[in-house]
Amino acid sequence: MLEFSVLILFPLFCTGVCYLLKSIRTQYIISMFVSSFHLIFSLMIFIGWYEPNLPFFFSTDSLSKLFLLVISNVYFWVVLVSFSYLRRPALAKSEEGKRYYFLLLNFYLFANTAAILSNHFGMYWVAAEATTLSVAPLIYFYRNEEALEAMWKYLFLVSVGIAFAFIGILFLILASKGTILEGHQLFFSEFVKKAAVLNPVWLKASFIFIFVGLSTKIGIAPMHSGDVDATSNAPSPIAALMSGSLRITALLGVLRIFQIVSPTSTHEFAKTILVIGGLISLFVAFIYMFKVNNYKRLLAYSSVEHLGIIALGIGIGGIAFIGAMYHVIYNSLNKMVLFFTAGNIHRKFKTREVSGVTSVLNILPLTGWMFLLSFFAISAIPPFGIFFSELMIFQGMLFSDKPWILFITMFLLLFIFINMGKTIFQMLYSKNENEEILLEKEKFEIIHFATIVILILLIAIAVISPEILRDNILNISKDFGIKL
């Protein structure tokens, strides 16, 4: 029960504590304590130093161990920079949002951990809905019309998506009718073991509804609009949290149903759906990059692009599946750097419009160089990790039975890179008439420290390639029936 208390009950308890406390600093200290313990425990479980013994509706496997470490790592860095972010001058309307900021963050950690560690479709569904409720008020942090619209749009679309996922779970129950699974609890592990007896028609319907429903949270096109609006209007730490961890929690639900269909005749159908979703996501990002007005929205569409790449890797299978798992890690790290630095740019220039941001490298040299490096990283420039994960995904595409997917993917990615680069270089290098007025020495802050460490991690994990990480990802592939 120790692991259950630390990973799930402790964040929930601290949610209540933060509600009772008025001091933002005290809430921050408590949240840092929670995030540190959660990260250490998640790392111990991942490495194998601690074997968890979770109660009835929860369990761990290779997939949940990896995803738990990813969300815990993202959460730690977001909490670390949050107090510095909240201390910045803000509109009077935003002051009310600060009061509940860490309360909602702790509830977010509780809900995401419960979803990741769940071994039951019902428990996962409830926890996934709780993640939506935890993040929605944080989207409205600035208390302006755009944020309000983004919050309600996100709540509406994601709630509809969660309803679709619930229908998918009901179809899974129908798929078990007349089999040894009929009348049993909806445990993932039981359905994976006995998937061969499930009705293929209802199983296909279940996969479609769960995939489409959860895609509203993952950001897979064409169900991406609510997530994009929410990410681009939320405070930068919250946008980093959503792009780096919340999408991963939703992706887990799709992977669970995909794991069930893997040993069945529905497998090829599910792979095709994933490939179509991935290609549409790349195409939508490709179209948007031709006319970028809002740089935070640009980063949100970059998330759509990279979740599309992950969906493609999972759908292709083989070595591409391995690459997709690595891509989950690298993308989560990269998105934090992009949104943290974008937050600094927004604070200085007081606008999210690309046309209002110029000469960043001169005015904010520290932030500017980190923003540039994070662009190189997200564009798969070596030695950053995304280069290696995309290489594996491309290799899987080339040697699959659909090599033409590689050519479409590379064509779309080429123009995404060119147009995204054009926008970012315009922000970094174009001259500013008021540059002398804006020019002042940029102070080194905790957010700069965090981005430097994360950028080092992006290189170190790829270059060192830890054996424990490689073995874990290989175990995940075995659980999905992938033979290399």
Distances (CA, A) of 398 to 206, 311, 477: 30, 16, 19
For the chain, percent of residues with pLDDT exceeding 90 = 69
- Answer yes or no: is 446 within a domain: yes
Residue 143 is predicted with a pLDDT of 82
Q: How confident is the model at residue 433 (pLDDT cuts 50, 70, 90)?
A: low
Q: Residue 374 has which token pair?
A: 């994070």
Q: Which of 190-194, 435-439, 480-484 has the lowest mean pLDDT?
A: 435-439
Q: What would the DSSP string read from start to end of 100-127?
A: THHHHHHHHHHHHHHHHHB-BHHHHHHH
* pLDDT reading at 435 higher than 70: no
pLDDT of residue 99: 83
The confidence band for 178, taking pLDDT boundaries of 50, 70 and 90, is confident
**104 falls within a domain:** no
**What average pLDDT does the structure give for the chain?**
90
Q: Which two tokens stand for residue 41?
A: 């425990």
Give the pLDDT of residue 425. Answer: 93
Q: For residue 28, tell me if it sits in a domain.
A: no
Structural domain boundaries enclosing 420: 278-484
Mean pLDDT in residue range 100-120? 94
Confidence of residue 52 (pLDDT cuts 50, 70, 90): confident
Of the listed ranges 24-38, 125-139, 169-183, the least confidently predicted one is 169-183
Query: Is the confidence at residue 69, as pLDDT, over 90?
Result: yes
Better-predicted residue by pLDDT, 145 or 208: 208
Categorize the per-residue pLDDT at 162 as very low, low, confident or very high, splitting at 50, 70 and 90: very high
For the segment 42-53, the average pLDDT, to the nearest whole number, is 87
**Under a CB-based contact definition with an 8 Å cutoff, are residues 212 and 147 in contact?**
no
User: What one-character DSSP code corresponds to residue 294?
Assistant: B
Q: CB neighbours of 169 closer than 8 A, spacing ≥ 6? A: 121, 122, 125, 186, 206, 210
Q: Is residue 325 part of a domain?
A: yes
Separation CA 265–CA 190 (nearest Å): 18
Q: Which residues pair with 353 in a beta bridge?
A: 294
Beta bridge partner(s), residue 423 = none
pLDDT at 351: 86
pLDDT at 467: 92
Closest CA to 3 of 47, 28, 37: 37
**Residue 350 predicted with pLDDT over 90:** no
Is the pTM above the cut of 0.75? yes
Which of 373, 273, 398, 376 lies closest to 323 in space, CA to CA? 398
- Residue 190 placed within a domain: no
Q: Higher model confidence: residue 256 or residue 6?
A: 256
- Asked if residue 149 belongs to a domain, the reply is no
Please give the pLDDT value at position 339.
95
Q: Is the pLDDT of residue 91 over 70?
A: no
Would the pLDDT of 1 be above 70? Answer: no
pLDDT for res 281: 95
Task: List, for residues 226-276, the tens digit of each pLDDT value.
Answer: 889 999 889 999 999 999 999 999 999 999 999 999 999 999 999 999 999
Residue 292 confidence (pLDDT): 82
Total tally of structural domains belonging to the chain: 1
Contact 354/293 with Cβ under 8 angstroms?
yes
- At residue 436 the predicted structure's pLDDT band, cuts being 50, 70 and 90, is low
Establish if 218 belongs to a structural domain.
no
Has residue 303 been placed in a domain? yes
What are the respective helix, strand and coil percentages of the chain, to the nearest 5? 80, 0, 20
Across 29-33, 144-148, 288-292, which has the greatest mean pLDDT?
Answer: 29-33
**Secondary element (H or E) of residue 399:** none
Q: What is the pLDDT of residues 305-314, one digit of tens each?
A: 999 999 999 9
Q: What's the pLDDT score for residue 439?
A: 61
In the predicted model, what is the mean pLDDT of residues 15-39?
92
> Can you tell me the mean pLDDT for 158-167?
94
Question: Using one digit for the tens of pLDDT, what is the confidence trace for 325-347?
Answer: 999 999 999 999 999 999 999 88
Higher pLDDT, 142 or 419: 419
Residue 90: is its pLDDT beyond 70?
no
- The better pLDDT of the pair 95, 379 is held by 379
Q: Tens digit of pLDDT for each residue in 437-476?
A: 556 677 888 999 999 999 999 999 999 989 999 999 999 9
